[in-house]
Chain A
Amino acid sequence: MNKDYILGVFKDEESLVSAFDKVKEKGVLPLEVYTPYPVHEILEGMGNKTRITYAAFFYGVFVAIGILSFLTYAASISWSLNYGGKPFNSFPSFIVVTIVATILSITILTLLTFSIRSKIFPGKVPEIYHERATDDRFVMVIDKKSMGANTEAINSIITEYGEIE
């Protein structure tokens, strides 16, 4: 088969993590690792960072300010109505709606961010390297070019813990 990558397929988390560490020691970083559940050693080892939590925080700040401003503007400036003589700007009772609507907005915006950044959306055709990577196999995809002189060594590391496919 004319492929420019090799697949290291492992049966459990420990083998994957051990092989991953050894491959990294050789100075080779796999293109991608596919696992049935999140493995934290891999998530850290791959060196990617996510800023989704910061994004969520900023959405929260802006949305909260926006909603509170809207409530204050609507109730005390634009359309003040007298409810039993209570002050138009009854700030503390605006907090409830602000909090709840902020939580809703953060959720929706963060989900959208996740969907856009991870390219997870309805109708997407997935690029599947190994059919069982979502079932019971841990799959490491290594670019052949990146292996260079280490090809032999990496092949033997993978076969020690799992299989090459």
Chain B
Amino acid sequence: MYNSEVRGRLITGDKSLGQISREIIAPIHAKTPVWWYFAVLVGLIMFGIGGYSIFLTLTKGIGMWGVNNTVAWGWAIINFVWWIGIGHAGTAFSIFLLILRQKWRTAINRAAEAMTVVAVFCASLFPLMHMGRPWLFFYIFPYPNTRGPLWVNFNSPLFWDFVAISAYLLISASFWYFGMLPDFATIRDTAKSKIKKTVYGIFAFGWTGSSREWLRFEGLSFVLGGIAAVLVVSVHSIVSTDFAVSVEVGWHTTIFPPYFVVGAIFSGFAMVLTLVVIMRGLYKMNDFITDSHIDAVCRVLIFISLIMGTAYLTEIFMAWYSGSQYEIYMFFHNRLTGEYAFQFWAMFVSNAVIPQLFWFKGMRRRMWVVFVISIIINIGMWFERFNIVVTSLSRDYLPSTWASYSPTWVEIGFFVGTLGMFITGVLLFFRFVPMIAISELKSVAKFDKQRNENLKHNDHE
């Protein structure tokens, strides 16, 4: 049983259950603020730039990108891995923290899951466009066809990746949606306007909160939580095998799966932190997402940051210890000091050094510091993917094939487009969906009550 006297209050401000619903639903009923329209406009403009870049890519081909024969994977794959990494927050928050019985997750998991769905969707666009002829996308489905040897290779990580990403998108979207049913019902039953009652009524699927529904709902969450826990680890492990199974210097290492998974959770948590700081600032959710919630996420980030630092150092150490001249060249001459040394050091400082500031309580308490560091981590994680993809490809075994890579504006535009899509998606989420899981928050509200000790101790949670 959660003891709020020892571990701090989960919700501040002594709220009744009714207040919790009202305050979380408030942004949905309130008049849309002007900044929201402005931000959506910015998001849509960025999305438009992306749309135009995609149009150019489709009509003129991959030649519009800066990739070449040597560096065949450029920004597209970097951004793909980056978005997928960010998309790990949803399951990490909902599932890992659920398994670890962290009650504070209830205030954050909804936002993390929403972010996951949008981020994974953004990610999936990159491999699709990188196919060059995305209208032949369906070739990747293993169905009986007349294409002869043009058939799916079940041993290829690229096929595993396709299965993993589509599964991850579908599962996290349904997990998110079914978790919202009780909250949609709350909106339906508390809304004054008829239109809202009808629309949210349709979304609520006729939820009433009866004991039979809750019983099966709990069973469902148990099953989905249990099996989706595998996905937190499997998805990015599979992404990492896209790299690790190829005989490429700097990629062909067994450290890749855990290294990628930890990195994914790192960037996911950082993006969640960005998002909840914004939620606190713009929607005044401070009573639900308290200072101690932010504190908890920051502490997790310190820990993950240390793992990241260890992973970077391990890679460098192993390159030296292996005695392989290619590995030594890759790490000591190419990454640490070569053409892309800036990206390497940007990655190292942003991911392994700067987050160490969170050791200080003063840093964890200042929201602007937390916000800035969370952004720095996301930039650092982007550089990590750049570092992996570009340095290894640009300097392979044969010096005559060496080449440099820099993106064209079409690639940059494509990335900007997905950022715009993410911004728009998150803003729509803020505006039309309860951004905190109301029913889950209510179920932990009792731990803050004075009569805490009167509650029975056979509670399962």
Contact surface of A with B, Cβ cutoff 8 Å: 12-14, 17, 32-43, 46, 48-50, 52-53, 56, 60, 71, 74-75, 79, 81, 83, 86, 90, 93-94, 96-97, 99-101, 103-104, 106-108, 110-111, 114-115, 117-129, 131-136
Contact = CB atoms under 8 A, between A and B. Distances in A.
A79 B152 CA distance: 10
B209 A133 contact: yes
B185 A126 contact: yes
Contacts of A134: 182, 185-186, 188-190, 207-209
A133 to B, nearest CB: 5
Interface stretch (B163-171, B280-288, B330-338, B394-402): B163-171
Q: Which of B149, B171, B211 has the most CB of A within 10 A?
A: B211
14 contacts: A34-B211, A35-B211, A38-B214, A38-B218, A75-B154, A83-B155, A104-B170, A107-B174, A110-B220, A110-B223, A114-B219, A123-B202, A126-B206, A132-B189
A56 to B, nearest CB: 4
A51 B446 CA distance: 29
Given A50-B216, A97-B160, A100-B163, A36 B460 contact: no
Interface string B220-237: 101110011011001000
B112 interface: no
B69 interface: no
Contacts of B446: 12-13
Nearest to B153: A83
Size bracket of the B interface: 35 or more
Q: Which of B18, B210, B231 has the most CB of A within 10 A?
A: B210
A14 B17 CA distance: 13
B451 interface: yes
Contacts of A103: 167, 171, 227-228, 230-231
Contacts of B439: 36-37
A136 B443 contact: no
A146 B144 CA distance: 60
A148 B185 CA distance: 34
Contacts of A114: 178, 216-217, 219-220
Chain B interface SS verdict (over half): helix
B213 interface: yes
A38 B461 CA distance: 11
Given A50-B215, A90-B155, A40 B459 contact: yes
B116 interface: no
A41 B459 CA distance: 8
Given A90-B154, A119-B206, 20 more contacts: A32-B212, A34-B210, A37-B443, A38-B443, A40-B461, A52-B223, A53-B223, A56-B223, A60-B227, A100-B238, A101-B163, A104-B170, A107-B171, A114-B217, A118-B217, A120-B206, A128-B208, A132-B189, A133-B189, A133-B208
B325 interface: no
A136 B206 contact: no
Contacts of A133: 189, 208-209
A106 B222 CA distance: 12
Contacts of A136: 16-18, 20-21
A100 B182 CA distance: 28
Contact of B142 (A74, A100, A108, A126): A74
A94 B154 contact: yes
Nearest to A119: B206
A102 to B, nearest CB: 8
Contacts of B196: none
Nearest to B449: A12
Q: Which of A14, A49, A50, A134 has the most CB of B within 10 A?
A: A134
Interface string B187-211: 0111000000000011111111111
A135 B189 CA distance: 8
A56 B222 CA distance: 10
A93 B154 contact: yes
Contacts of B211: 32-35, 42-43, 46, 48
Contacts of B181: 120
A131 to B, nearest CB: 5
Nearest to B150: A81
Given A32-B210, A97-B160, A111-B178, A48 B204 contact: no
Contacts of B455: 13-14
**Which 6 residue pairs are nearest across A and B when measured between Cβ atoms?**
A124-B206, A136-B17, A136-B18, A37-B443, A104-B167, A52-B219
B443 A93 contact: no
Given A75-B154, A134-B208, A37 B442 contact: yes
B209 A53 contact: no
Contacts of B207: 120, 126, 134
Q: Which of A53, A75, A93, A94 has the most CB of B within 10 A?
A: A93
Contacts of B21: 36, 135-136
Contacts of A17: 456
Q: Which of B227, B440, B454 has the most CB of A within 10 A?
A: B227
Given A74-B142, A111-B174, A118-B212, A53 B189 contact: no
Given A56-B223, A123-B202, A97 B209 contact: no
A121 B18 CA distance: 26
Contacts of B429: none
A131 B189 contact: yes
A125 B204 CA distance: 10
Interface in B436-460: 439-440, 442-443, 446, 451, 454-456, 458-460
A19 to B, nearest CB: 14
Nearest to A123: B202
B155 A53 contact: no
B159 interface: yes
